[in-house]
Amino acid sequence: MHTTPDLRRRAHLIERMDEACTRDELRVCLRDIARLNRWFLTHRALFQWLDGFAPPAGEPLRILDAGCGRGDALRRIERWAARKNMAVELTGLDLNPDAVAIAAEATPPSSGIRWVAADVLAYAPAKPFHIVVSSLFAHHLHDNDIVRFLAWMERHAQLGWFINDLSRAAVPYHFLRVFARLVCLHPFVQYDAPASVARAFLPNEWRHMCSAAGFTERDYSILAFRPGRLCVARLKPA
């Protein structure tokens, strides 16, 4: 029998894709997550925020996607930049080497995206990025690692950073639990989709973690987007 977690508190469920699985199995799971993201406009919030940026004079806009998974967000960013005739240097980083390999497989040979398998909290780029983004990555981390991630982004992002994540609430939890089964997504995704919602954060929890990372409430914005998104954005002063 299914038991609904107490959504007033962050669940500490283990998502099945975070456990050991084969590359072939992960490939199917990431494909199904990409379908969910497309159906539910996951990346819309990111592009609304990105549209406020212009490339630095004389150099390409350097963007890192932390926890890139299958790389869908970066491929969309590459197409967005091409439409704007904007030079970019794009890097996708993921802890799982299989995810990085799958991202590379899904990317056209003409793409300039660079894929890196590494732990973002230990990653030391040769030069800072202008922007660091993440999509549906933050809820995979423990609270103390979120604080470390916020501080890491502040050190390595010259212009700002954007966390695109889920909103912990009953409606998206139950909707995803039912919808993922109705459309016959991979069994891992059927479990992980609602579990991700249960693992996500509330606005006050984000405020607490941002404060622990050294930010005041004037330094960042917490942005809600439908359906079921809660994002945290930082735009550094010029």
What whole-number percentage of the chain has pLDDT above 90? 84
Average model confidence (pLDDT) for the chain?
A: 94
Is 65 within 8 Å of 91 (Cβ atoms)? yes
In 118-209, beta strands by DSSP E: 129-135, 157-166
Task: Give the confidence band of 1 by pLDDT, cuts at 50, 70, 90.
Answer: very low
Helix, strand or coil for residue 32?
A: helix
Q: What's the pLDDT tens digit per position in 127-184?
A: 899 999 999 999 999 999 999 999 999 999 999 999 999 999 999 999 999 999 999 9
Tens of pLDDT, residue by residue over 12-65, are: 888 888 888 899 999 999 999 999 999 999 999 999 999 887 778 889 999 999
157-167 burial, b at 16+ Cβ within 10 Å, e below that, comes to bebbbbbbbbb
Tokens for 212? 């622990």
pLDDT band for 193, please (50, 70, 90 cuts).
very high
Mean per-residue pLDDT for 89-105? 97
User: Which amino acid belongs to residue 194?
Assistant: P
Structural contact between residues 149 and 123, judged by C-beta atoms closer than 8 angstroms? no
Both structure tokens of 171: 């409606």
Q: What is the reported pLDDT for 57?
A: 81
pLDDT at 19: 85
Q: Does an H or E element contain 196, and which?
A: helix 187-199
Query: Given this model, what pLDDT does residue 2 score?
Result: 58
What CATH number should be reported for the domain whose range is 42-168+201-235? 3.40.50.150
Are β-strands 114-117 and 88-94 bridged in parallel, bridged antiparallel, or unpaired?
A: parallel
Q: Where are the beta strands (DSSP E) in the chain?
A: 61-66, 88-94, 114-117, 129-135, 157-166, 221-225, 229-235
